[in-house]
Amino acid sequence: MNATFSATDERMMARALALAARGLYTTQPNPRVGCVIADGDTIVGEGWHGRAGEPHAEPIALREAGDRARGATVYVTLEPCAHHGRTPPCADALIEAGVARVVAATFDPNPKAGGGLARVHAARIDIASGLLEDEARALNAGFFSRLERGRPWVRLKIAASLDGRTALADGESKWITGEAARDDVQRWRARSSAILTGIGTALADDPRLSVRLDADHVAPLRVVLDSSLRTPAGSHVLDGTAPTLIVHATGSEPLDSRFDRVELFAVDGGSGQLDLGAVLAELARREVNELQIEAGPILGGAFIAAALVDELLLYLAPTLLGDTAQPMLRLPALPALDAAARMTLVEQSTCGPDLRLRLLTGHPDVHRHR
Ligand SMILES: NC(=O)c1ccc[n+]([C@@H]2O[C@H](COP(=O)([O-])OP(=O)(O)OC[C@H]3O[C@@H](n4cnc5c(N)ncnc54)[C@H](OP(=O)(O)O)[C@@H]3O)[C@@H](O)[C@H]2O)c1
């Protein structure tokens, strides 16, 4: 749809996106969506989706707007839904309210929910889409990835020294980065639907993989890749305090009660390693939108080598650990320098004394999967 947008349109959609972001930690598995209803330059109603099962952004904004919705423009960051899910169709509510125009930032990739713009248009209401679409897709990178590619958006988090080392030779890695960086990681965990690690890290660090954050959030699924079920009894990930999935190789079955409080899932480990594509497909089936990997160099390297990482979240501490310490990633040797894949640096900031880099492994418009 080739629509032209005014400065007011842009301002209103930017506001709708800011509202959508309020659901960053809570809408999982639903997308983060915001809505603004405006009469010209005046906002008459606002809303955002807070939690799955609760009202969508549009009915909340319509309720605030009341009669002033008639003849107004609706700005919504995702196409209004056209289906009866846990709530009635938003497209119908907009039609009933008598709005004059609906502007969506992007279409809904969910085949069950999409089609709302067409339904609104059929009721002779003006429609437009594509306003601040890149921003809208980036906010819901995981939701779009799951529905368009059948796998979550995969973020690999690494804390390293300046010389790219992630643990001492004996496995000690607590702590390379400072408190501010570790607090920052908690926020990235909170927006993730799942946190994944490997058995190497589970054995070395006994991580909790939980979110320690005051803000309201949905507890992410904890996932451990452990082909031969070596996770020791008493490990934090087996304590039943958060939903947990232990992925193991087909054929290795638990013979004791260690795994009574978690779920087990078997994937093909025929080649000696778990099929990572199958792991991601299963996580998508479980409605995991954003997956955060917090593993060591072996599993992190395997995900990178399989081209299954979308985003690198890298904390660099101003210290040197030397070449006997563990590397950032174990990767196969390159035949030549120009065979090295280049990433795109999209953000650089500091967390206390540490540097935080965010990189995308694909093209900058990697949020478009179609
Ligand atoms: N600085 C950081 O950001 C950071 C973060 C996490 C960990 N660490 C450090 O990393 C160290 C552990 O690293 P690690 O490399 O030994 O452990 P890891 O990467 O966490 O786990 C590796 C294990 O995962 C299992 N695995 C299952 N499927 C796999 C697949 N498809 N490909 C590769 N591995 C697969 C393998 O064991 P099975 O074959 O038995 O399944 C493999 O040995 C610790 O010292 C920890 O402190 C540092």
CA of 95 to the centre of ligand 1 (A): 53
The residue written with tokens 């409605």 in the block is 287
Selected residue with higher pLDDT from 363 and 113: 113
Active site residue 58: yes
Name the DSSP letter for residue 303.
H
pTM, to two decimals: 0.95
**Ligand 1 touching residue 173 (CB < 6 A):** yes
pLDDT of amino acid 271:
77
Q: Across the chain, what does the average pLDDT equal?
A: 94
CATH T-level assignment (fold) for domain 151-360: Dihydrofolate Reductase, subunit A (3.40.430)
Q: What residues have CB less than 8 Å from 1, skipping those under 6 apart?
A: 127, 128, 129, 130
Rounded mean pLDDT, 346-367: 87
pLDDT of amino acid 320:
98
pLDDT of amino acid 366:
52
**Ligand 1 touching residue 226 (CB < 6 A):** yes
CA of 226 to the centre of ligand 1 (A): 9
**Ligand 1 touching residue 45 (CB < 6 A):** no
pLDDT band at residue 89 using 50, 70 and 90 as cut-offs: very high
Q: Whose CA is nearest to atom 9 of ligand 1?
A: 296
- The answer to whether 103 and 131 are in contact (CB under 8 A) is yes
- The answer to whether 259 and 274 are in contact (CB under 8 A) is no
**243-260: per-residue pLDDT in tens?**
999 999 998 887 789 999
Q: Which atom of ligand 1 is nearest to the CA of 298?
A: 15
pLDDT band at residue 365 using 50, 70 and 90 as cut-offs: low
Q: Which atom of ligand 1 is nearest to the CA of 249?
A: 41
String of DSSP letters for 56-86:
PHHHHHHHHHGGGGTT-EEEESS----S-SS
Rounded mean pLDDT, 200-223: 95
pLDDT of amino acid 370:
47
The residue written with tokens 């890149």 in the block is 134
Is the per-residue pLDDT at 1 higher than 70?
Answer: no
Is the per-residue pLDDT at 184 higher than 50?
Answer: yes
Rounded mean pLDDT, 261-288: 94
Q: Whose CA is nearest to atom 17 of ligand 1?
A: 200
Q: Whose CA is nearest to atom 13 of ligand 1?
A: 296
> What are the domain boundaries of the chain?
7-139, 151-360
**Ligand 1 touching residue 270 (CB < 6 A):** no
φ, ψ for residue 292, nearest 5 deg? -110, 120
Structure tokens at 103: 């502007």
CA of 147 to the centre of ligand 1 (A): 28
The mean-pLDDT minimum among 150-154, 272-276, 310-314, 323-327 falls in 272-276
φ, ψ for residue 273, nearest 5 deg? -135, 150
Rounded mean pLDDT, 83-104: 92
**Ligand 1 touching residue 301 (CB < 6 A):** no
Rounded mean pLDDT, 6-10: 98
* % of residues, the chain, pLDDT over 70: 97
From the candidates 46, 58, 290, 311, give the one annotated as an active-site residue: 58
**13-70: per-residue pLDDT in tens?**
999 999 999 999 999 999 999 999 999 999 999 999 999 999 999 999 999 999 999 9
Rounded mean pLDDT, 104-133: 93
User: Under CATH, which number does the domain 7-139 receive?
Assistant: 3.40.140.10
